[in-house]
């Protein structure tokens, strides 16, 4: 286990960019939500990596933050997917470019 | 190099699964690739000595969130993609350019700072007993708040996704329906 911290951070940056590209480029709202989950996971990886390499790992701060972050991400996914289902019931589509009722 | 093999294989699995989740046409394949990516991240957490977080990641993401995504695809008829229908936005290169700018802005400071290339000295552990102790003492208020938030999210998800009752404007409708069936039977 002689991997420097920067490798984890670069992996996290790559994962964030992939999720970001998917979230802004895909048309289906479900895939947009998957991209957001990937971005959240990239942030969690940063917290765990900094906890592992940090000077005071016994304080467990990074681990606690990730546990709460996972709980909040689960709530966000549940509400977001329920919104997708509600939009599909009203508009009969989940393509984000066709849901333009608030477009100026 | 050989000692880096677990990390490298997990990292490649996670990244390839994430790219596949964002590019495949079939939404069910997207959801399965996202679950594989979450599982690869859980393996990386386990390599980083964060056992509890790794297993929580498997339980919540690979278990619950992936199932939730698959059910949403099922309920929104997302799996039947037409052959000619585009799945990507029309401004593909603009989006890819913005993502590349974000990636370079994240990676450039990492590669330039020398302090991030140090190897780990300590071998920290996060035993479940210690996590439970700080959850019940130092972090008890956030824990209760998370419980409240999860309850609210559960109720909110059910209420938002619940089928709305049809407006009762035509009370004659239920009485008419059986008579039509009778006439069909006759």
Q: Does A98 touch chain B (CB under 8 A)?
A: no
Does A75 reach chain B within 8 Å, measured CB to CB?
Answer: yes
What region, left, alpha or beta, does residue A60 occupy, with left being phi > 0 and alpha being psi -120 to 50 degrees?
left
Half-sphere exposure for B171 (CA within 13 Å, toward CB): 0
pLDDT at A85 over 50: yes
- In chain B, where are the structural domains located? 1-80
* CATH hierarchy code of domain B1-80: 1.20.120.1200
Residues 15-54 of chain A with CB under 8 A from chain B are 15-22, 24-28, 30-31, 33-35, 37-38, 41, 44-45, 48-49, 51-53
Which ipTM was obtained for this model? 0.93
Interface probe for B, chosen from A27, A78, A87 (most Cβ of B below 10 Å), is: A78
Measured between alpha carbons, how far is B147 from A8 in angstroms, rounded to an integer?
31
Determine, for residues A97 and B89 on separate chains, whether the beta-carbon distance falls below 8 Å. yes
- How many independent structural domains does chain A possess? 1
- From the list A25, A48, A86, which residue is nearest B160 (CB)? A86
Burial A75-90 (b: 16+ CB within 10 A, else e): bbbbbbbbbbbbbbee
Structure token digits, residue A40: 């959240």
Q: Please report the pLDDT score of residue B31 as a whole number.
A: 94
Q: What is the pLDDT of residue B181?
A: 47
Choose from A10, A12, A18 for mutation: most chain B CBs within 10 A: A18
pLDDT over 90, % of chain B: 58
Residue A4 has pLDDT above 50, yes or no: yes
Tokens found for residue B51: 């056992």
For residue B101, pLDDT over 90 is answered with yes
Say if A56 falls within a structural domain: yes
Measured between beta carbons, the chain B residues lying within 8 angstroms of A97 are 89
In this structure, what CATH number is given to the domain that contains residue A16? 1.10.287.3510
Q: Which chain B positions have a beta carbon within 8 Å of A28's beta carbon?
A: 27, 78, 87
Contact: B126, A63; criterion CB under 8 Å: yes
pTM for the full model? 0.86
User: How confident is the model at residue B120, as a pLDDT?
Assistant: 72
Average pLDDT over residues B167-171: 61
Do the domain assignments include residue A11?
A: yes
- Residue B165 CA, chain-centre distance (Å), reads 30
| Res B179 pLDDT > 70 | no
The range of the structural domain enclosing residue A21 comes to 5-91
């Amino acid at each position: 286990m002689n991997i420097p911290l920067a490798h984890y951070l670069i992996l996290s940056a790559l994962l964030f960019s992939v999720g970001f590209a998917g979230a802004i480029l895909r048309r289906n709202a479900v895939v947009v939500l998957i991209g957001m989950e990937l971005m959240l996971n990239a942030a969690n990886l940063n917290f765990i990596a900094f906890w592992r390499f940090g000077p005071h790992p016994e304080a467990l701060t990074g681990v606690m933050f990730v546990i709460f972050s996972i709980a909040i991400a689960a709530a966000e996914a549940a509400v977001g997917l329920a919104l997708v289902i509600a939009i599909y019931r009203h508009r009969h589509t989940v393509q984000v470019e066709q849901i333009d009722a608030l477009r100026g | 190099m050989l000692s880096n093999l677990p990390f490298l294989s997990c990292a490649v699995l996670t990244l390839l699964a994430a790219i596949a989740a964002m590019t495949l046409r079939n939404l069910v394949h997207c959801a399965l690739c996202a679950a594989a990516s979450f599982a690869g991240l859980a393996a990386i957490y386990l390599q980083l000595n964060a056992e509890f977080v790794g297993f929580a990641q498997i339980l919540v993401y690979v278990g619950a969130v992936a199932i939730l995504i698959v059910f949403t695809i099922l309920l929104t008829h997302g799996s039947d993609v037409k052959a000619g229908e585009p799945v990507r936005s029309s401004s593909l290169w603009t989006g890819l350019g913005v993502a590349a700018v974000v990636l370079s802005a994240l990676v450039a400071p990492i590669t330039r700072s020398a302090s991030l290339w140090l190897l780990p000295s300590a071998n920290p552990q996060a035993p479940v007993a210690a996590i439970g102790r700080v959850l019940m003492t130092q972090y008890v208020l956030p824990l209760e708040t998370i419980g409240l938030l999860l309850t609210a999210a559960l109720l909110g998800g059910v209420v938002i996704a619940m089928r709305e009752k049809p407006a009762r404007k035509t009370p004659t409708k239920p009485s008419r329906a059986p008579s039509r069936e009778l006439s069909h039977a006759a």
